[in-house]
């Protein structure tokens, strides 16, 4: 999971992109990057770490131009510590193209081989985003005559990308001297919204992974980019759009609503905040129906993303809601930290219990989900150490039993706590007196009830059904082996890249 931004404005956009990345920081903490376009010149700065650590005043001053794209990285393919895989990526032909990508391709190896043998393009990293950039660049080159780029050429290139590429992808890209391109995979798995604002009578456009980036930047939400759609905005501010894929369908990732997205975002017509309130309501219904004798004194959320669900659950059951854990906001989200040892160590640094809320009570802890179980086990133990008599653990999401291959870092079945375990065994594993999971049908209804036009979801991590239809047992085995091999090669180095990519006038004609 990553966060992407794209802006075409009437004035310098470097501050807009920086502020937008900070709002999307929750979507990736491994690396950050910005590329701006000033005439026919790209200016790039990217590096490992949080947005606030990557960019300094001197870096911002070099990011000139009224258009740009930006990215915060959460590694799912490639190496978590490899600077070369920080985004955006750049190729110099045709014209010069930069691209930022959120998602994960499922036919990367085939595309790499095809790029080498047929398209004569070199892929320098293990990142599927670099592969996607080169596919797009090749298809643009196939449709360019002379030094002119037409709207039809852009749409034709994106249509060819949809035919060749499989998996999940939301993309923002810039073509030097021409404009910004935004597109989304034919299933609409990864989110992408667009907004606008008026400056001196001219329209400025912003694209982002979540609507909150638009809100905080003074842009009004126009709509979501549709599955298979391409939106092309020239640097002069002319906007063109077209659905470029056949057999499109909207199947957004359910985990966006459960965990990744900020509650103040609206994605595919769904208020994330309202969907999480609904998750609490349906979870309360399950407890009333299946566990009416559960002796609960207090409901306590695991901050932050489970707060809305826990609050509504407590209200529905007529139980007190209390804040029993205080969060250190200077520690990153443990789920998206690479490596089990780092996650385990960070839990105690991240959360500290308030013993007053636990002592002598039967507590119901509510979290958004249970993935690896590392955090859950530590939290249950903290509750017991603080004097809780009984500790029940509720998950606003169903049991995560299958790998996700569309952009969430859970590709190894052995890492998933629920693999091969029932609820009683999971409770014993994390030290809880009972574990209560949301039912998948209830979760889907919690989201779709906010927007009844949503009929389908990408829910493979819960049900093992992969919406792209190309995921086999052999594929899952291969990515697990690659992941284990990668762990032995990580060097943990952190660096930064600061480049001015000069695209001269003579190179464009």
Instruction: Return the CATH number at 167.
Output: 3.60.20.10
Asked, for residue 499, whether it belongs to a domain, the answer is no
Asked, for residue 502, whether it belongs to a domain, the answer is no
Omega into 346 within 30° of 0, i.e. cis?
no
Phi, psi of 292 (to 5 degrees): -65, -20
Smallest Cα–Cα separation from 70: which of 25, 50, 28, 100? 100
Tell me, what DSSP letter sits at residue 89?
A: E
pLDDT of residue 488: 54
184 and 223 in one domain?
A: yes
Asked, for residue 208, whether it belongs to a domain, the answer is yes
Asked, for residue 253, whether it belongs to a domain, the answer is no
368 appears as a binding residue in the annotation: yes
Asked, for residue 47, whether it belongs to a domain, the answer is yes
Tell me, what DSSP letter sits at residue 128?
A: H
114 and 32 in one domain?
A: yes
274 and 244 in one domain?
A: no
Tell me, what DSSP letter sits at residue 60?
A: H
Asked, for residue 496, whether it belongs to a domain, the answer is no
Domain region containing 121? 1-248
Inter-axis angle of helices 340-350 and 374-385, nearest 10 = 30
47 and 164 in one domain?
A: yes
Distance CA 481, CA 477 (A): 6
Asked, for residue 445, whether it belongs to a domain, the answer is yes
**Beta strands in 396-484, from DSSP E residues, in sequence order:** 434-437
pLDDT of residue 414: 80
Domain with residue 369: its CATH number is 3.40.50.2020
200 and 67 in one domain?
A: yes
> Which residues participate in catalysis according to the annotation?
2
Distance CA 361, CA 160 (A): 60
196 and 124 in one domain?
A: yes
283 and 180 in one domain?
A: no
236 and 282 in one domain?
A: no
Judge whether 193 and 216 are in contact, CB under 8 Å: no
Judge whether 47 and 86 are in contact, CB under 8 Å: yes
Distance CA 11, CA 199 (A): 9
129 and 80 in one domain?
A: yes
Distance CA 273, CA 414 (A): 32
Phi, psi of 352 (to 5 degrees): -130, 130
367 appears as a binding residue in the annotation: yes
Distance CA 174, CA 36 (A): 9
**Domain tally for the chain?**
2
Residues 6 or more apart whose Cβ sits within 8 Å of residue 147 = 508, 509
- pTM, two decimal places: 0.91
Judge whether 356 and 323 are in contact, CB under 8 Å: no
Judge whether 139 and 160 are in contact, CB under 8 Å: yes
pLDDT of residue 502: 47
Asked, for residue 494, whether it belongs to a domain, the answer is no
Q: Give, for all 509 residues of the chain, the pLDDT tens digit.
A: 799 999 999 999 999 999 999 999 999 999 999 999 999 999 999 999 999 999 999 999 999 999 999 999 986 644 555 788 899 999 999 999 999 999 999 999 999 999 999 998 999 998 999 999 999 999 999 999 888 999 999 999 999 999 999 999 999 999 999 999 999 999 999 999 999 999 888 999 999 999 999 999 999 999 999 999 999 999 999 999 999 999 999 999 999 999 999 999 999 999 999 999 999 999 999 999 999 989 999 999 999 899 999 999 999 999 999 999 998 877 655 555 555 555 555 677 889 999 999 999 999 999 999 999 989 999 999 999 999 999 999 999 999 999 999 998 776 788 899 999 999 999 999 999 999 999 999 999 999 999 999 999 999 999 999 999 999 999 988 888 877 666 555 544 445 555 555 444 333 33
Distance CA 37, CA 345 (A): 41
162 and 309 in one domain?
A: no
144 and 183 in one domain?
A: yes
302 and 162 in one domain?
A: no
């Amino acid at each position: 999971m990553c966060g992407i931004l794209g802006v075409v404005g009437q004035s310098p956009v470097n501050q807009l992109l920086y502020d937008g990345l900070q709002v999307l920081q929750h979507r990736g903490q491994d690396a950050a990057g910005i590329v701006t376009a000033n005439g026919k010149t790209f200016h790039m700065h990217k590096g490992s770490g949080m947005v606030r650590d990557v960019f300094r005043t001197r870096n911002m001053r070099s990011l000139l131009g009224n258009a740009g794209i930006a990215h915060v990285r959460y590694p799912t393919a490639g190496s978590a510590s490899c600077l070369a895989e920080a985004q955006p990526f750049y190729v110099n032909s045709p014209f010069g193209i930069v691209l930022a990508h959120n998602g994960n391709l499922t036919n990367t190896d085939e595309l790499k081989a095809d790029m080498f043998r047929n398209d004569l393009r070199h892929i320098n990293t293990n990142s599927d985003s670099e592969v996607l950039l080169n596919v797009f660049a090749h298809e643009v080159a196939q449709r360019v005559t002379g030094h002119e780029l037409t709207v039809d050429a852009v749409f034709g290139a994106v249509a060819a990308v949809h035919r060749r590429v499989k998996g999940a992808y939301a993309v923002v890209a810039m073509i030097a001297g021409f404009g910004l391109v935004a597109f989304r995979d034919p299933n609409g798995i990864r989110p992408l919204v667009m907004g606008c604002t008026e400056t001196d009578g001219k329209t400025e456009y912003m694209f982002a992974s979540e609507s909150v980036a638009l809100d905080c930047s003074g842009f009004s939400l126009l709509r979501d980019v549709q599955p298979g759609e391409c939106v092309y905005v020239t640097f002069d501010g002319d906007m063109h759009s077209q659905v470029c894929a056949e057999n499109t369908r909207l199947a957004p990732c359910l985990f966006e609503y459960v965990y990744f997205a900020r509650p103040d975002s609206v994605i595919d017509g769904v208020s994330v905040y309202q969907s999480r309130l609904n998750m609490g309501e349906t979870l309360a219904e399950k407890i009333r129906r299946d566990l009416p004798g559960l002796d609960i004194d207090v409901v306590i959320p695991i901050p932050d993303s489970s707060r809305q669900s826990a609050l509504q659950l407590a209200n529905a059951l007529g139980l007190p809601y209390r804040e029993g854990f205080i969060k250190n906001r200077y520690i990153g989200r443990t789920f998206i930290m690479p490596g089990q040892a780092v996650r385990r160590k960070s839990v105690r640094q991240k959360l500290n219990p308030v013993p007053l809320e636990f002592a002598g009570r039967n507590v119901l802890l509510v979290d958004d989900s249970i993935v690896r179980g590392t955090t859950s086990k530590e939290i249950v133990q903290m509750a017991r150490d603080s004097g809780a008599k009984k500790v029940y653990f509720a998950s606003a999401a169903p049991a995560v039993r299958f790998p996700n291959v569309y952009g969430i870092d859970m590709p190894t079945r052995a890492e998933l706590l629920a693999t091969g375990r029932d609820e009683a065994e999971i409770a014993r594993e994390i030290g809880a007196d009972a574990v209560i999971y949301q039912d998948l049908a209830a979760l889907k209804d919690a989201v779709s009830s906010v927007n009844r036009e949503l009929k389908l979801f990408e829910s493979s991590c819960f049900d093992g059904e992969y919406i792209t239809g190309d995921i086999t047992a052999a594929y899952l085995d291969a990515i697990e082996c690659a992941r284990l091999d990668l762990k032995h090669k990580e060097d943990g180095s952190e660096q930064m890249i600061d480049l001015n990519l000069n695209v001269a006038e003579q190179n464009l004609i």
